[in-house]
A and B are shown apart, each in its own frame.
Chain A
Amino acid sequence: MSEHLLSIVLFTPLAGMLILLLIPSGRTGLIRLWANIAGFAGFAVSLPLLWRFDKNASGFQLVERYEWIPSLGARYIVGIDGISLLLVMLTTLIGALAILSSWSAIQEKVKQYYAMFLLQQTGMLGVFLALDFFLFFVFWEVVLVPMYFIIGVWGGPRKLYAAIKFFLYTLAGSVLMLLGILTLYFQHFRQYGFYTFEIAELMKLDLPLGLQQWVFWAFFIGFAIKVPMFPFHTWLPDAHVEAPTAGSVILASILLKMGTYGFLRFSLPLLPKASIDPLIVKILVGLSLVAIIYGALVSLMQQDWKKLVAYSSVSHLGFCTLGIFALNPNGLAGSVIQQINHGISTGMLFLIVGIAYERRHTREIAEYGGLAHVMPKYATVFAIAMLSSAGLPLLNGFIGEFTILQGAFEANRVWAALAATGVILGAAYLLWLYQRTMLGQVTNPKNLHLPDLNLRELAVFLPLIAWALWIGVYPKPYFEVLEKPVTQIVERVRPDYFRKAPVPAAAPLEVLR
């Protein structure tokens, strides 16, 4: 059993889905119960990863490899390093909580809904676990279909438009990415005489800069659309606003991370020359900075609660990509931590919007006001989520943003300065949102008798709040887990980085460690 741990983590949700399909559609109670059991089982089986994972070992751990399609050189290879460990834990936890949060929100076609959810769970885990490019691509595409249905069937009024837009955007990106993958695959054949998709093998390639740049842009299209980076972000607000709450949570917390993960796992290590090409770095950092500031400014103007959170994602993901292309240990580690943070805090914010929506069926910010008097527990949870998202010290968001800014500062001070304005704007739109919805007197009589959080809803938030506090107060384990993989990436992209600066300018962070 134990040597198949990753496969068990990967396929538990799928097995849960197959059993779910056997339950008759009419028994909604049983279906809900089983879906929650399957969701939490998915989380439970991933817990042993925490102690099986050796943070001092370099390279991939718990690797399983089997022949799959010898004619193509595709294998079933799964394995984790620090980066994927964190993302896998995020996926299993958020997935379970999202399923729990759907208990009362989804009343129609319940069986299909949970089936799609569990299928998607396996798809996302596969993306983070696969160490074979073919396998990765299969999972990458598998994720699209359930999300199309989650938005398109259980979404809001413009769900069909949003769902197909999401699908077309990401599919267009990923087929171009496939061509990039095939180029590497073919180049490997030319240099080594056999076809393989194994990442470790493809990393041995020595490619000229020109070719690397082409492949980089092919990957970029696929990953940047998923993140989404600035000019490709337009699908995101539509998808988020129309998706049901749990769909938005999954979309923001996990799906978007597939893009940033792609940059970390594939673009940087496989195309090191292109990744430090000054022009490419300038463009990517530029787009990240635009996303940070533009996302924040647009958030400030939103009248729709959910849309505000959606645009805040654009801004926060801008930090993640900025950290990646700062190309130093702080930037990369900060980026991964910020990805987890964004998963936690934005996941919470979407859940919070969803709870208000479930009670009032509107997301207009102007419809609310003074909810803190009516729903004190709710307002407290919201306050924590909001502060965590805004980057208040002692909560998780601070650690991520701070480390990224530190990395950016090390690379170029102007970047750090510009990105810092995003932090300020972030605090502005979040605090203003909180003020408009929670504080003051209850102006709208419809809000006078809203029920506060019930136990189930509270149970959804508590693990996330605990996690946010853990990262905020004691982030050391996270930095330790990330140290090896981040160092490897930096060494790969900038071989002389550690030689030139034996002690990278990380002094302030030492305090935290």
Chain B
Amino acid sequence: MSEFYTSVDHFALVPALMLALFGCAVLLFDFFVFPAPRQRKWLILFLALGIGFAALGLVRQYMFLSSEGLAEFTAFRGALTIDGFAIFFNGIFLAASLIVALVSYRYLEIEGEHHGEYYGLILLANCGMYFLATGTDLVTLFVGLELMAVCFYIMVGFLRFDKRSNEAAIKYLLLGAFSSGFLAYGFSVMYGLAGSTRLGDITAALAARSAWDPLVFLALATTAVGLFFKVSVVPFHMWAPDAYEGAPTTVTAYLSVASKAASFAFLVRIFLGPLISAREVWQPLLAAVAVATLTVGNLAAVTQTNVKRLLAYSSISHAGYVLLGLVAGNPTGIKGIAVYLLVYTFMNLGAFLVLVALRRRDILGEELEDLSGLMHKSPVHAVLMLIFLLSLAGIPPTAGFIAKYYIFWALIQAREYVLAAIAAAYVAVAIYYYFRIVRSMFVSEAADREPLASSFGLRLALGVTGLLTVAIGVYPEPWLALAQNSVLLR
């Protein structure tokens, strides 16, 4: 290996390489090996193989770190940093990608849009996420972000003949590009201040200046706007409900968990990295944004009748809780962010998977009344949905409680009692709209007799997400130990 590409570089890059290679290979295989539509589901095996290899790469990185007793190692002269944080988040992304791919073939068949590119896009988007979690260089991060975003623009508009899907894709593309512009502007200011694109150099350069320096503030403000768009917090959340509602449900599920987790990993890297010296400036700002996000997300969700839209607003409010972890800013809060996003991935995916199962030939299955009487029609789906919703609301003994618990704990530790009380009060609001869904499932009579869509992948994915949502709630210890390694603050 040359100076340019050392074995350490390779070691750090393996998971991304695997994702990219298999992503491209899926596209080729789709064309040459499985041209018939009926064979396309075999591409999932291929995708699973790619994710498996990537996961193996992550495990080896983890073993390396723990056997050497290292907190992190860098590659490509500091452009990539492999640490507990990166490995933890990459694990979340891989799990989300696999689960989404598993449930997609039946759904896309019903939609009449089952194409092999879809699986390629999932892998490539995941590759982008890998760089968002591991990148410690502005250019790497930006390229990773765009790779992920471009894949999502295509996937959101995957239903080519569906007006809503097209509209959602255009909205998402325009606002996404707009926010990337802001981000690039912020990055350029940072580069101007530091003369380097490495986060470490920028951290040092910004720390040398006062927190209230106008240039630092300019960098902070523009970067924050770009990041807020990506994680869809108020006031930059407007694209989310439309994009979530219009996108194919499997893509909505993927978008709402993996893209959000990746964007948060990115956001945490920036705020606890280069912007850490301006903490006194961004802390009250983030607090205000978080409270506004909780307010808008929760209150808007109350009146929704479309479940996808309701879950979109609910996921906005979850972003508010995650931000509160950063506002608290202590190790508990950062660990809380990791735990929250892990738990959120499974419970939110699960809730969307039930909607995926409700999509049948002639039934969209995403209105509140489509869920009515689900308990009679399919008790298993109804009970699973109940578990996911209880978890989303944060009721013990589900995983969602552990997630919220960490956020509350971090806030109390930081003595942010008022924020903690506000965050707690919104749990009661949230239970109201989640239980509108529960009410129609358990109390109302069934609207149709059409059985739910079912496939091996869907059953497996629902089983796994349901099991994890309960298991993490009842016995969280091993998962908390994993998240412990992801605390970036030192």
Contacts and interface: CB of A to CB of B under 8 A. Distances in A.
Interface stretch (A79-87, A146-154, A312-320, A489-497): A146-154
B339 to A, nearest CB: 10
Contacts of A159: 443
Contacts, number: 81
A186 B442 contact: no
Nearest to B484: A71
Contacts of B432: 164, 168
Contacts of B397: 138, 142
Interface of B: 375, 390, 395-397, 401, 405, 408-409, 412-413, 417, 420-421, 424-425, 427-428, 431-432, 435, 439, 442-443, 475-477, 480-481, 484
Contact of B424 (A137, A141, A160, A179): A179
A178 interface: yes
A178 B401 CA distance: 11
B417 to A, nearest CB: 7
Give chain A's interface residue range (CB within 8 Å of chain B).
20 to 34
A149 B477 CA distance: 31
B396 A141 contact: yes
Contact of B427 (A148, A171, A183): A171
Contacts of B412: 179, 182-183, 185-186
Which of B408, B412, B432 is most buried by chain A, counting CB atoms within 10 A of its CB? B412
Given A164-B432, A176-B421, A179-B421, A70 B427 contact: no
Contacts of A171: 395, 427-428, 431
Contact of A168 (B390, B413, B428): B428
A135 to B, nearest CB: 10
Contacts of B396: 137-138, 141-142
Contacts of A176: 421, 424-425
Interface in A36-66: none
B428 A160 contact: no
B417 A160 contact: no
28 contacts: A69-B476, A69-B477, A71-B480, A71-B481, A71-B484, A72-B405, A141-B395, A141-B396, A141-B401, A142-B397, A145-B390, A148-B435, A152-B439, A160-B439, A164-B439, A167-B435, A175-B425, A175-B428, A176-B425, A178-B424, A179-B412, A179-B417, A179-B424, A182-B408, A182-B409, A183-B412, A185-B412, A214-B417
A185 B481 CA distance: 20
Given A72-B480, A138-B401, A172-B425, 7 more contacts: A142-B397, A172-B427, A175-B428, A176-B421, A176-B424, A179-B417, A183-B412
A78 interface: no
Q: Do most interface residues of chain A lie in helix, strand or loop, or is the interface mixed? A: helix
Contacts of A69: 475-477, 480
A101 B70 CA distance: 64
A145 B481 CA distance: 30
A252 to B, nearest CB: 23
Given A69-B480, A70-B477, A171-B431, A149 B442 contact: yes
B105 to A, nearest CB: 31
A112 B375 CA distance: 10
A476 B421 CA distance: 45
B328 to A, nearest CB: 12
Contacts of A70: 477
B101 to A, nearest CB: 32
Interface of A: 68-72, 112, 137-138, 141-142, 144-145, 148-149, 152-153, 159-160, 164, 167-168, 171-172, 175-176, 178-179, 182-183, 185-186, 214
B428 A172 contact: yes
A6 B229 CA distance: 52
A197 B413 CA distance: 15
Contacts of B375: 112
Contact of B413 (A148, A152, A186): A186
B428 A152 contact: no
Contact of A167 (B408, B421, B425, B431): B431
Nearest to B413: A186
B444 to A, nearest CB: 10
B483 to A, nearest CB: 9
A182 B404 CA distance: 12
B481 A175 contact: no
Nearest to A144: B395
A345 B413 CA distance: 45
Nearest to B417: A179
Contact of B435 (A141, A164, A172): A164
